[in-house]
């Protein structure tokens, strides 16, 4: 589903953010990206949804080489990718419903279908009762569930998350993790960038560790320890 | 793959086959318009600031325009005085009058030709010397010349045209004495040129300043909502889909702002300016201080719409990079 070949990325006036990354993530996989701050986790995610273009190498999403995509093709790519962030990135003055519906409006859905599908996903996230509240009045956990609802409402092939539990307490972290797992069970490929060791250890999923822009360790899923580096 | 599709529950399938929000241009435009109106409702403060800025900027420009247009009108009525007179020593027969009139009318730039008889000339002379009629005792109409008074078209009242016209006039056999107040025409025209130059300079500066202020205000308001632009592009909105509601919003702000500025200008005009007519008119016969014509009002409304639309367009270019 996701393939990176020899990818390097450098920001202006800065040392390289990513260096010779080779990574394959299969369809339906669940992968954690970890590493210290500045290791390149966020840069790697941004490459995957076309917010950045690598200086070298190829990025393939579902067989399409996104480094060769034109600016007008990137939005179409993003429609099959859901993204969530640590700071949620919600429209503060809009309601929960509007925040989620926007992902379907973009696709040109009709009003009735948007209503049904949005309420359906809000129910899955357990926040359907708050549909008419503005997001600024919600707790952190609730806001992240709205962000997840927006990311998942159009059944994306890939779900990307950048420190999704960074602002949440333990109870909320578990709920969010369960939502990721459920999405994964339904067939969505999930990539979560985090340095929350507890979250990673709880999940027993594939782990890719980055440091200074390079992959330093890969651990296959559901192994007991971290000694089976590839 | 096909097998999996068949197993899909009916409820899910209906989500996979959505109706488009609006098929064709009308539906899409309706969607964007409703989105723009929702945006305005949800960002009242930002919209009030933008509309207020557009209103004030256009009010300043339109106030200047109002004063300038009235000055132009005043000078226009003054330019009626640019007139060429041909004198004859003798009273002309009606055939001669018709012959000269015909020859003069053929010349370019003539708007009106009137013949002044000796009696008419004496009458005018007397009215000019009102209170001192004794000076005219013993003066008969026979000592005064007869004349043709020629009014020129608006486009032929500047110095060079008048001079060319007089040269052409003198070529008509029988016409020898022509007067047109050369010095006055020259001074009047240089006054007009300075007025127009000043108007263009001042007006130009005002328009540039207004455009600058409005475009920067719009840029700031769009900057304050860049999160919204980011989120839209994150969920896969095309550039057009992101920009369209903002552009419509800019258009609405522009039209509302310019309408308000015209209303305020009319208020100012009714309240203060329309009594100030005598201030500007040199000719008591002119109509006084008038409000802007419909063409100018339409132009101002259009300018507001363009300002809002183009201001949003250029600002969005900076912030939308899908």
Q: pLDDT tens-digit profile of A15-53?
A: 778 988 999 999 999 999 999 988 889 999 999 999 989
Pairing state between β A16-25 and A158-162:
unpaired
Average pLDDT score over chain B: 81
- DSSP helix/strand/coil, B168: helix
How far from the centroid of its chain's Cα atoms is residue A5's Cα? 20
* CB contact (8 A) between residue B21 and residue A110: yes
Which pLDDT does position B255 carry in this prediction?
96
Residues of chain A neighbouring B234 (CB-CB closer than 8 A): 49, 78, 83, 89
Using an 8 Å CB-CB cutoff, list chain A residues near B322. 71-72, 74-75
Tens-place pLDDT, residues B2-21: 444 444 443 333 333 344 44
Instruction: pLDDT band for A101, please (50, 70, 90 cuts).
Output: very high
- Torsion sign (Cα): A84, A88, A94, A97: positive
Complex confidence, ipTM: 0.85
pTM (2 decimals)?
0.72
- The predicted-structure confidence for B111-146, as pLDDT tens digits, reads as follows 888 888 888 888 888 888 877 777 777 777 778 888
Express each pLDDT in A186-219 by its tens digit: 999 999 999 888 888 888 889 999 998 889 988 8
> Is the model's pLDDT at B231 over the cut of 60?
yes
A74-83, A174-183, B274-283, range with the lowest pLDDT: B274-283
A204/B contact by beta carbon, under 8 A: no
Q: Give the per-residue SS3 of chain A.
A: CEEEEEEEEECCCCCEEEEEEEEEECCCCEEEEECCCCCCHHHHHHHHCCCCCCCEEEEEECCEEHHHCCCCCHHHHHCCEEEEECCCCCCCCCEHHHHHHHHHHCCCECHHHHHHHHHHHHHHHCCHHHCCCEHHHCCHHHHHHHHHHHHHCCCCCEEEEECCCCCCCHHHHHHHHHHHHHHHHCCCEEEEECCCHHHHHHHCCEEEEEECCEEEEEECCCCCCCCCEC
A-chain CB neighbours of B238 within 8 Å are 72, 75, 106
Write down the mean pLDDT value for chain A.
Answer: 88
Burial of B7 (0-12, 13-18, 19+ CB in 10 A): exposed
Nearest to B228 among A74, A91, A109 (CB): A91
* % of residues, chain A, pLDDT over 70: 95
Average pLDDT over residues B235-248: 90
Q: How many CB pairs under 8 A join A and B?
A: 76
d(CA A227, CA B142): 131
pLDDT tens digits, A74-95: 999 999 999 999 999 999 888 9
Q: How far apart are the two ends of chain A, measured CA to CA in Å? A: 20
Residue ranges of alpha helices (H) inside chain B are 2-7, 10-16, 24-42, 44-78, 94-106, 118-128, 159-170, 182-223, 226-234, 239-271, 277-280, 294-319
For range B199-224, the mean pLDDT: 90
> In B, residues 180-239, which contact A (CB 8 Å cutoff)?
227-228, 230-239
At residue A160, φ and ψ (nearest 5 deg) are: -110, 140
């Amino acid at each position: 589903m996701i393939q990176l070949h020899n990818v390097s990325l450098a920001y202006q006036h800065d040392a390289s953010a990513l260096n010779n990354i080779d990574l394959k993530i299969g369809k339906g996989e669940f992968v954690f990206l970890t590493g210290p701050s500045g290791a390149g986790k966020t840069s790697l995610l941004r490459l995957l949804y076309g917010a950045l273009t690598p200086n070298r190498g190829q990025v393939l999403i579902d067989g399409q080489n996104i480094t060769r995509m034109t600016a007008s093709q990137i939005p179409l790519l993003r429609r099959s990718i859901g993204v969530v962030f640590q700071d949620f990135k919600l429209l503060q003055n809009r309601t929960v419903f509007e925040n989620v519906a926007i992902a379907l409006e973009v696709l040109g859905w009709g009003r009735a279908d948007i209503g049904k599908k949005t309420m359906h996903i809000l129910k899955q996230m357990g926040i359907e009762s708050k549909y008419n509240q503005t997001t600024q009045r919600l707790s952190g956990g609730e806001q992240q569930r709205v962000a997840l609802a927006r990311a998942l409402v159009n059944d994306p092939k890939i779900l990307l998350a950048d420190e999704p539990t960074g602002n949440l307490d333990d109870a909320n972290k578990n709920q969010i993790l369960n939502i990721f797992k459920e999405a994964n069970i339904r067939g969505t490929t999930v990539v979560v960038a985090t340095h929350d060791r507890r979250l990673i250890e709880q999940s027993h999923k594939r782990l890719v560790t980055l440091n200074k822009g390079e992959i330093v360790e890969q651990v296959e899923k559901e192994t007991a320890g971290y000694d089976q580096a590839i | 793959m096909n097998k999996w599709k068949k197993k899909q529950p009916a409820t899910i399938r209906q989500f996979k086959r959505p109706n488009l929000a609006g098929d064709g241009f009308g539906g899409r435009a309706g969607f964007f318009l409703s989105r723009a109106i929702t945006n305005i409702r949800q960002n009242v403060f930002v919209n009030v600031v933008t509309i207020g800025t557009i209103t004030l900027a256009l009010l300043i420009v339109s106030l200047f325009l109002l004063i300038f247009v009235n000055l132009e009108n005043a000078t226009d009525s003054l330019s009626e005085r640019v007139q060429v007179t041909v004198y004859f020593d003798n009273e002309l027969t009606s055939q001669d009058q018709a012959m000269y009139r015909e020859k003069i009318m053929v010349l370019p730039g003539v708007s009106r030709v009137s013949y002044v008889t000796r009696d008419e000339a004496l009458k005018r002379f007397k009215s000019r010397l009102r209170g001192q009629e004794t000076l005219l005792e013993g003066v008969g109409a026979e000592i005064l010349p007869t004349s043709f008074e020629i009014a020129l078209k608006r486009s032929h009242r500047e110095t060079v045209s008048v001079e060319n016209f007089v040269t052409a006039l003198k070529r008509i056999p029988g016409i020898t004495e022509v007067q047109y107040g050369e010095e006055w025409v020259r001074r009047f025209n240089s006054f007009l040129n300075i007025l127009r130059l000043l108007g263009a300079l001042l007006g130009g500066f005002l328009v540039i300043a207004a455009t600058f202020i409005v475009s920067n205000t719009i840029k700031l308001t769009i900057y304050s909502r860049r999160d919204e632009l980011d989120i839209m592009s994150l969920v896969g909105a095309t550039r057009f889909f992101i920009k369209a509601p903002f552009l419509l919003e800019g258009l609405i702000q522009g039209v509302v702002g310019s309408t308000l500025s015209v209303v305020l200008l009319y208020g100012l005009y009714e309240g203060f300016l329309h009594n100030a007519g005598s201030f500007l008119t040199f000719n008591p016969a002119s109509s006084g201080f008038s409000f802007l014509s419909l063409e100018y009002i339409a132009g101002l409304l259009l300018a507001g719409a363009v300002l809002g639309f183009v201001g949003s367009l250029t600002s969005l270019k900076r912030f939308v990079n899908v």
